[in-house]
Amino acid sequence: MRDLLFEVEDGVATLSINRPQARNALALQTMAELDESLDLARRERARVIVIRGVGDLAFCAGGDLKELERMRSEEEAVEMAQRMRATLDKIPQLAIPVIAALNGDALGGGAELAIACDFRLAASHARIGFAQINLGLMPAWGASERLAALTGRGRALSILLGGDTLTAQRAFQLGLVEEVVPKDRFARRVAELALTIASAPPAAVAGIKSSVNAIHPHRHPALADETIAAFARTWADPAHWEAVERMEKRRRQKR
């Protein structure tokens, strides 16, 4: 794989997004490799999966706009969103837990990836933000439903409509992450937790995940088509591309 590092050790499969030059943003190739890696972890009989980014600056900065901006039509946006939504919907269907290890910032689509995982550990310097609204977009991959399940309707609306970037501690207070760990102890804590889960009886782990999913579903296929269609309309809207252009202009001015 070009964009992901994959390894299995002691029952722990680690998927590391390896695009530090782009703050681990997701290109189309990265999305495809993430989907492939989830299947590979199952075939390798991993007992737990950890998803993280390479380095300590970014877990995932969202979709790679330098690549995705070539996709301007609703049809192209629908195709991309359907593929990535299907990938994230695999996570709750796996019998094994999937941990998002937020080694750095999780923004936009990266935040969607994080909350699609079964639970999240964040390094103390990490941030999480759903800034899609600032680009004239709505979440494409199921974050609206998942965020509402995690935080409640009002807080989900506030987070999504506010477009703010939250500190790890604030995300913990709101229920977006389960644990915040100092940067110098983060890797050790993630490994410790993953190994603890991997050493537990697989049937018990699978049963616990299944029973919790029954109470709080993390996958809502009935909502997918309508959500994706709404996202595609915002993607193709000129207001979105005008916002992207303004963002790029601000970035150039900061250099």
Q: What is the pLDDT of residues 47-86, one digit of tens each?
A: 999 999 999 999 999 999 888 888 889 999 999 999 999 9
Q: pLDDT at residue 223 above 80?
A: yes
Q: What is the pLDDT of residues 183-210, one digit of tens each?
A: 999 999 999 999 999 999 999 999 999 9
> Kindly report the CA angle at 23 between 18 and 28, in degrees rounded to 5?
65
pTM score, two decimals?
A: 0.95
Please indicate, yes or no, if residue 15 is contained in any of the structural domains.
yes
Please indicate, yes or no, if residue 211 is contained in any of the structural domains.
no
Please indicate, yes or no, if residue 209 is contained in any of the structural domains.
no
Query: What is the CATH number for 196?
Result: 3.90.226.10
Residue 24 — pLDDT band, cuts 50, 70, 90? Answer: very high
Please indicate, yes or no, if residue 213 is contained in any of the structural domains.
no
Please indicate, yes or no, if residue 85 is contained in any of the structural domains.
yes
- Burial status of residue 191 (CB atoms within 10 A of its CB: 0-12, 13-18, 19 or more): middle
**Measured between alpha carbons, how far is residue 97 from residues 52, 158, 210, 238, 243 in Å?**
14, 28, 10, 40, 37
* Spatial separation of the C-alpha atoms in residues 94 and 206, rounded to whole Å: 8
Question: If we measure between CA atoms, which residue out of 223, 215, 202 comes closest to residue 94?
Answer: 202
Give the pLDDT of residue 193: 98
* Spatial separation of the C-alpha atoms in residues 112 and 130, rounded to whole Å: 8
Task: Tell me the sheet residues that pair with 145.
Answer: none
Please indicate, yes or no, if residue 218 is contained in any of the structural domains.
no
Give the pLDDT of residue 252: 80
In the chain, how many domains are there? Answer: 1
Please indicate, yes or no, if residue 41 is contained in any of the structural domains.
yes
- Domain limits for position 138: 4-202
Please indicate, yes or no, if residue 245 is contained in any of the structural domains.
no
